[in-house]
Amino acid sequence: MNVRLQILARHPWLAALAGLTILQVASSGLLRGATLAGTADVLQFTIMLLMLAGVLSNVPKAKAHVRGFWLLLALAVAMWTGVYSIWLYHEVIRHTPVPFAGAGDMLLALHVVPIMMALAVLPHRDRRAGALPSSLEFLLIGCWWLYLYFQFVFVWQYFSFHPAIFHRNFNVLYHCELAIIIVSLFYLWRNSRGGWHHVYGHYLRAFLIYAPTSAIVNVLIQQGIYHSGGFVDLPLTISLAYIAWTGFHARTVKLYADRGSEPLSTVAIPDWAASIGAVSIPVIALFSYERLHDPAGVRHFRVALGFTAMFVIALLIFTRQRLLNQRLTSSLQEATHAYDNLERLQMQFMQSEKLASIGRLVSGAAHELNNPLTAILGYSELLATDTQVPEQQRGFAEKIGQQARRTKHLISNLLSFARQTPAMKRMVDLNALINNACQLRMSELPGKISLVRDLQADLPQVLGDDNHLLQVCLHILNNAVDAVEGVVGAEIVVRTALRNDRAVMEISDNGAGVTDPLRVFDPFYTTKPLGKGAGLGLSACYGIIQEHDGVIECMNLTPRGAMIRISLKVPEKPAPVPSAHNAGVVEISKP
């Protein structure tokens, strides 16, 4: 007994529900007449308020679709509480019998629909396994049940009052809803684990108590022998208290999402339920219209109701289809963008692999050649400076040394291509670097070629090796000069800008363009005549930019010309160096 008291002390809401239930039992045996009815109404209304509080207490800590589950349950409980408030108003405040067929009947008949919607949310499922059902699908389900109520219950209450048909249709509709709730809870209880398994189980047991008790109460009301607070209300009160307790109990268990292997699409109820409801409305309307023995007012109301329902359903389906088309279009665009990014990433990976393989080969060969070249250079210098060696032989030794030094320079270039020289990174002003490259290239511009600089004045600095980046600029400028050679009105444009927190440099020309822009960074790929290029320059540029965590791209322009775009990251705390003298467009021409 002490243990039970300690449990009640730790859980005041449980103590309150237990006390109210005990009070209901005591009042059923001790009180009579209006006092008993009033006491029962107050107790049940209080339990309903606690039920609403228990459900709402789960909303703040819930996430995403789980919050929708608790909010829909709260809506159902609020409608349910409205029914008991009507009983409280008539029997306690006004001391009058509850109307035989009043406004509370609609709330009682339809309060189960939000519970269906809440269960259809499937809060125990991991949302990453599939998309959240659309709210329009829930609206379709709600409209369908509302249509059934007006079609079979409301019409016999207000257009042609018939107590027997009204009670029969009301009981059939309401208990069909309860049966669906029980079947759904049983399914969810069997297919869930952890905290949700316990929550579904408690709600299932509570509704298994409530459903038959509600059926008995409705029969007694129809026969006119029901009075509030009797012993038949005890299981009803117990079931309500059980539902209220479950709401508070859900806060104490861990409601983790189930990441099981079952696909969400196999249990997504709203989609097919909404489709069945939309198709069944015209069938039900046609069947009801053919009942010629029904009063004319009933048949006319049903015709108007059928057309209204079909219009609303068609509007919802049209809206749902539009939203679905927009979602599909957006998904297609995202998929296309992702595929393009994947192709670009794959090409960059292949390019990096090619450069890495060739770099390892060149590195090994260069190191092996350096040793004998060093010896050749040493011996050739000894022979060239030895006075005892005839002059003709000393001349040969000097030529050997020249060729050896030329070979060593070539090996040095190969090692540079293989990126064996480590980059010495520091903050670099791209505008100043481009100005240096342009000044170095100006003196060698052949013919009439315009070199235009369009540099952003407040361009932030980037982290990089200024020597390596200068080599990249010079090599791209050389390629641009070669591309516009012989072109009338030849022009090369160098542009810098800040785009999406990245420093972008673009070098474009108005030449003939590039045959295959996707292959220009491949090693040994060149379109220049034999002897004018080995096809390693842009590959080396690609490697340098990759080493700087940048992106280099080649593209053809319209109507003609090509452009190389380089994008480099800007540090989080850049050190921008204003270079106002670089702002604007400067054209330098060489006659």
Select from 2.40.10.220, 3.40.50.720, 3.30.565.10, 3.40.109.40 the CATH code of 426-589. 3.30.565.10
Per-residue model confidence (pLDDT) at position 207? 94
Lowest mean pLDDT among 330-344, 404-418, 419-433, 546-560: 404-418
Per-residue model confidence (pLDDT) at position 228? 65
The model's confidence at residue 416, banded by pLDDT at 50, 70 and 90, is low
Both structure tokens of 199:
């929550």
Per-residue model confidence (pLDDT) at position 553? 87
Segment 162-173 shows an average pLDDT of 85
Neighbours of 244 (CB within 10 A): 27
Q: Flag whether pLDDT at 271 surpasses 70.
A: no
- For the segment 287-340, what is each residue's pLDDT rounded down to a tens digit? 776 666 777 777 778 888 878 888 887 787 777 778 778 878 888 888 888 887
DSSP string, 510-529: -SS--S-GGGTTSTT---SP
- Residue pair 245/100 in contact (Cβ under 8 Å)? The answer is no
- For the segment 204-216, what is each residue's pLDDT rounded down to a tens digit? 999 999 999 888 8
Average pLDDT value over all residues in the chain: 76
Pairwise CA distance, residues 17 & 13, whole Å: 6
Pairwise CA distance, residues 112 & 315, whole Å: 25
User: Containing H/E element for 443?
Assistant: none
Q: For tokens 């192709």, what's the residue?
A: 343
The model's confidence at residue 193, banded by pLDDT at 50, 70 and 90, is confident
> Which is nearest to 548 in space by CA: 521, 524, 566?
566
Per-residue model confidence (pLDDT) at position 589? 39
Q: Between 510 and 528, name the one with better pLDDT.
A: 510
Q: What is the 3-state secondary structure (H, E, C) of 334-377?
A: HHHHHHHHHHHHHHHHHHHHHHHHHHHHHHHHHHHHHHHHHHHH
Segment 238-262 shows an average pLDDT of 79
Lowest mean pLDDT among 87-91, 195-199, 456-460, 532-536: 532-536
Domain boundaries, the chain: 2-126+162-257, 426-589
The model's confidence at residue 63, banded by pLDDT at 50, 70 and 90, is confident
Both structure tokens of 180:
């669906």
Q: Between 171 and 446, name the one with better pLDDT.
A: 171
- For the segment 512-561, what is each residue's pLDDT rounded down to a tens digit? 888 777 777 776 666 655 445 555 677 778 878 888 888 888 888 888 88
Q: Which fold does the domain 2-126+162-257 belong to in CATH?
A: Rhopdopsin 7-helix transmembrane proteins (1.20.1070)
Q: Flag whether pLDDT at 227 surpasses 70.
A: no
- For the segment 92-133, what is each residue's pLDDT rounded down to a tens digit? 888 787 776 677 788 888 899 899 888 888 888 766 544 444
Per-residue model confidence (pLDDT) at position 179? 93
Pairwise CA distance, residues 417 & 468, whole Å: 11
Cα separations in angstroms, 160 against 40, 60, 146, 165, 300: 33, 46, 19, 10, 12
Segment 30-55 shows an average pLDDT of 78
Segment 197-203 shows an average pLDDT of 92
As a residue count, the chain comes to 591
CATH topology match: 2-126+162-257 vs 426-589: no
Pairwise CA distance, residues 488 & 471, whole Å: 28
> Which is nearest to 97 in space by CA: 221, 219, 231, 217?
221
Per-residue model confidence (pLDDT) at position 160? 79
Lowest mean pLDDT among 18-22, 179-183, 223-227, 417-421: 417-421
Q: Flag whether pLDDT at 438 surpasses 80.
A: yes
The model's confidence at residue 51, banded by pLDDT at 50, 70 and 90, is very high
Q: Flag whether pLDDT at 48 surpasses 80.
A: yes
- For the segment 138-158, what is each residue's pLDDT rounded down to a tens digit? 777 778 888 888 888 888 887
Lowest mean pLDDT among 142-151, 350-359, 460-469: 350-359
Pairwise CA distance, residues 284 & 65, whole Å: 33
Contacts of 244 (CB under 8 A, 6+ apart): 17, 47, 48, 50, 51, 54
Lowest mean pLDDT among 183-197, 383-397, 456-470, 485-499: 383-397
DSSP string, 161-203: --HHHHHHHHHHHHHHHHHHHHHHHHHHHHT--HHHHHHHHHH
Q: Which amino acid is at 192?
A: S
User: Which runs of consecutive H residues, i.e. helices, occur in 448-591?
Assistant: 466-483, 537-547
Lowest mean pLDDT among 25-34, 189-198, 390-399, 575-584: 575-584
Per-residue model confidence (pLDDT) at position 541? 81
Pairwise CA distance, residues 235 & 8, whole Å: 21
Pairwise CA distance, residues 483 & 477, whole Å: 10
